[in-house]
Chains A and B, each alone.
Chain A
Amino acid sequence: MSEQRSTLKKLTQYEQTPLLIALLAICAFLSFKSDVFLSVDNIMNVLRQSSIELIAALGMTMALLAGQVDLSIGSLLAVVGIVTVSIYNMSGSVFLAVVAAIIVGVAVGLINGALVTKTKINALIATLGMMAVLRGIGYLSTNARAVQTEGDTLKLIGTGYVGPIPIPVIIAVVVLVAFYYILNHTTFGRYVYAAGGNEKAALSSGLPVSKIQIWVFIICAVTAAISGLITTGRLNSFQPTIGVGFELNVIAAVILGGTRLTGGEGTISGTVLGVLILGVLSNGLVLLDVNSFWQEVVRGGVIILAVIIDEYRKRAQQKQLQASVKDKKQEHVQPIEEESTTKANIS
């Protein structure tokens, strides 16, 4: 067992090493170039910003692992925003606002999941449609005007601290731990990997694949709702354009973290690194006073580069694999000979 655990550990470490090196290299470079970069304030700032993306990225990781994708999360941010602000302004209760945000997340996830599993529409298309619908609802609700919150408790979710640590970071860590646990230690997590790795095989193993997929969409949308809640708190208002392009940034971070679009392969640790790399990168570009349009270009370039590297690594692995298969074939003959002596026991 201990042996198994250590080899597993080595493997994950090996897989994440390039990303970790990249992150450290970017940090090292930025700490040379900018005096501010390593200041506590800036680090907290990066972490808080990354937290918002990380929470949604965790949900997205699960969706991609299950072989699905959810493009509607950016627009969901807007709907969550208006719902949260309205409820808060009406009731003055942060608790009610949070509950409402979660309910919106569950509802949207349920609709996405039902669309994909019941009508068999491709997830990309179904959630692309949902993305437009939700964005439209966001604009319609206020005629595209911003709405200010009336009170200062909601903004604590986005800007408050516990000790030196920003509240969003704490929320992100809690969600992170929950995801790690679900994906690595529960049957549901393993079903997610199996359903995404090969849906037909999952079916022929007797897994309730549709149910799993619906849950994945719900979980993904709820994480996005939490991100939306934090964003709204940070802005202390509803902005109809919040979350435009958010889904692409989140998917990019997840892919950068090594999760495959084809499903079944990916890790939580990879996603954390993916989010941090993109977070540090945009922070660095701001600190270095790079034109904000260039930031987009750099971000896109990094993602393409990451996928290319990943593709090469995959090919190298396959070569290794082929070699090991050949080796095994060589020793194929003699083991059959024990047939008469050892009688197999089936338990």
Chain B
Amino acid sequence: MAELSPVLEMKNISKQFFGFYALKNVDFNLYPGEVHSLLGENGAGKSTLIKIMAGVNSLEQGEYLVDGKKVEVKNPRGAQELGVNVVFQELNLVPSLSVAENIFFGRLPKKALGRVNWNKLYQDTEVLLEEVGLEINPRTRVGLLGVAQQQLVEIAKALSHESKVIAMDEPTSALSYKEIERLFLLIEKLKKKGVGIIYVSHKFDELFRITDRITILRDGEKVGEVKTKETDSEELISYMVGRQLSNLYPKMDVTPGDVAFQVKGLTSDKVKDINFYVRKGEIIGFSGLMGAGRTELARAIFGLDQTHEGQIIIEGKEVPRNSAKIAVQRGIGYIPEDRKEEGLVLSASVRENMTISVLKNFVEGGRINKKKEFDCTQGAIEDLRIKTQSSEQKIVSLSGGNQQKVILARWLIKEDLKVLILDEPTRGIDVGSKSEIYRLISELASKGIAVLMMSSEMPELLSMCDRIYVMKEGELAGELSQNEATQEKIMSKAIGGI
């Protein structure tokens, strides 16, 4: 690769927001046919750098070169004309338009008199969808698609341009195992065609599989650049957090006690005949492909989705189904997958978000004892080391990791918590906070709470869980103990028939 010249170069890039450096003297280059990863904690500057490449953020200081020529990119269109395309983490699709219209937005093929050439549009789209492995009709409205499918449409959109460079910002965060494999094949193909790929991801296993080089950013500065072959995850983490992080998964050894929680024959529209148990102090994982029913199972147990049959039993006592209120009263806590959509009241403060489930405990003589509530919140902020200016701070201004800690605190301050269901507990959270959240989960288990963890991240399941149940099409397809569980075994059960 050394004889080639870089297709994209960023030299000495600095960018300020509100007088604070989001990027400081960052160098970055990308060769044709190379996969180069940007790694760093949330807020390290990865997104800012990509946004400058894409023409979303303006370049203030430094040089931006494409094919060795200095360029000025004023807007996303300018970047696209240079052959630089970005698949952003936040989806930018128009829900009311079809997949095809979204992909060729603003450049629909035309016939005479300016009429749209629909046939050509749908044909071209089909080819692209085929390439990303999405088996849907190009006429489908985007709003009807799931997040994973939308993500693939975004990738197809990037492919539809003549690209020299494609940047992908956490493209796999919503994708299932199968779809990720498909994406990796696609990336290999693009590499062979000489396209340079910038790949942003927190998932180390992916980085080691498909990237050639990794540039690590921390607080807006480039702190390291390594060849993927010559590094390991410990080195990467130490670059990211600026020190050696002894153990990402601080799982404590707990001798599991009696069965604390049992689900028998639970059936809803989305899950079928679910049977499992959790002992006191156990952490139980639920794995499976996208759409296998993990989230739906969590919602069914907690009473958010209607269930038709089955029993939910805590410490030998049956809990009436289909009421989240009763579930909470009986000691079940639930942390939903989508923090902002389903977990937090964004307009409210840290305190209000934290105490909402246990508010009744603070009531004295018909009114909330605000001092008690405040003290409780303050205690949790200190114990969990939640980084916030005060308990009255609006929750939106906290980082993802700290927001997640507030939701954890919501259930930790519940004194009679017996079962905690976590759905994707570390999605979109940086490595440092991740490790802290694992430690909290581990401590919870050691206190005798039964923990259920639905997750699509294999490493966290394999490292944190005493047992792993694998789901497939709404049913439990198998159970693996920590000792026997491997990524391959889980996958074969999740796909089935192997």
Residues of A within 8 A of B (CB): 1, 4, 7-8, 181, 185-187, 190-191, 193-194, 197-198, 200-208, 264-265, 321-330, 332-333, 335-340, 342, 344-347
Contact = CB atoms under 8 A, between A and B. Distances in A.
Contacts of A265: 347
Given A321-B394, A333-B219, A346-B443, A202 B20 contact: no
A197 B345 contact: yes
B324 A187 contact: no
Given A202-B356, A332-B399, A186 B367 contact: yes
Contact of A201 (B20, B344, B447): B344
Contacts of A347: 379-380, 383, 412-413
Contacts of B432: 332-333, 336
Contacts of A201: 342-345
Contact of B18 (A197, A198, A202, A323): A323
A322 B341 contact: no
Contact of A4 (B345, B380, B392, B398): B392
A1 B371 contact: yes
26 contacts: A4-B374, A4-B391, A185-B368, A190-B359, A191-B359, A193-B345, A193-B352, A198-B344, A200-B336, A201-B345, A203-B304, A203-B324, A204-B334, A206-B329, A207-B357, A321-B396, A323-B20, A324-B397, A326-B22, A326-B43, A328-B398, A329-B43, A330-B20, A339-B436, A344-B439, A346-B444
B327 A344 contact: no
Contacts of A181: 367
A116 to B, nearest CB: 19
Contact of B440 (A198, A327, A332, A346): A346
Nearest to A340: B246
Nearest 10 Cβ contacts at the A-B interface: A206-B328, A329-B43, A197-B345, A323-B18, A185-B367, A200-B342, A264-B347, A187-B359, A198-B345, A206-B324
Interface of B: 17-18, 20, 22, 41-43, 218-219, 241-243, 245-246, 302, 304, 324-325, 327-329, 334-336, 341-348, 352, 356-357, 359-360, 363, 366-368, 370-371, 374, 379-380, 383-385, 387, 389-392, 394, 396-399, 410, 412-413, 432, 435-436, 439-440, 443-444, 447
A206 to B, nearest CB: 3
A118 to B, nearest CB: 14
Contacts of B370: 1, 185
For A4, A201, A205, A344, which residue has the most chain B Cβ atoms within 10 angstroms?
A205
Given A208-B325, A321-B397, A325-B397, A194 B342 contact: no
A332 B217 CA distance: 13
Nearest to A206: B328
B109 to A, nearest CB: 39
Contacts of A8: 392
Nearest to B359: A187
Nearest to B332: A206
B18 A333 contact: no
Contacts of B384: 344, 346
A194 B348 contact: yes
Contact of A206 (B325, B366, B444): B325
Nearest to B18: A323
A194 B352 contact: yes
Contacts of A198: 341-342, 344-347
B17 to A, nearest CB: 6
B286 to A, nearest CB: 17
For B348, B356, B391, which residue has the most chain A Cβ atoms within 10 angstroms?
B356
B368 A206 contact: no
Given A197-B348, A207-B356, A328-B397, 9 more contacts: A1-B374, A187-B368, A190-B356, A332-B41, A333-B219, A336-B245, A342-B385, A346-B412, A347-B383
A205 B443 CA distance: 22
Nearest to A326: B20
Nearest to A193: B348
B421 to A, nearest CB: 10
Nearest to A260: B347
Given A346-B383, A347-B379, A333 B363 contact: no
B22 to A, nearest CB: 7
B356 A329 contact: no
A330 B399 CA distance: 12
Contacts of B329: 206
Contact of B241 (A264, A327, A333): A333
Nearest to B447: A346
Contacts of B444: 346
B357 A205 contact: yes
Contacts of A323: 17-18, 20
Contact of B219 (A193, A205, A332, A336): A332
Contacts of B363: 186-187
A202 B345 contact: yes
Contacts of A324: 389, 397
A206 B432 CA distance: 30
Contacts of A332: 41, 43, 219, 387, 399, 432
Contact of A344 (B245, B356, B440, B447): B440
A152 to B, nearest CB: 39
B348 A333 contact: no
Nearest to B338: A200
A143 B124 CA distance: 66
Contacts of B342: 198, 200-201, 203-204
B338 to A, nearest CB: 8
A142 to B, nearest CB: 43
Contacts of B399: 325, 328-329, 332
Contacts of B371: 1
Nearest to A190: B359
Nearest to B16: A326
Nearest to B393: A324
A204 B302 contact: yes
A316 to B, nearest CB: 13
A177 to B, nearest CB: 13
Contacts of B374: 1, 4
Contact of B20 (A204, A207, A327): A327
A9 to B, nearest CB: 12
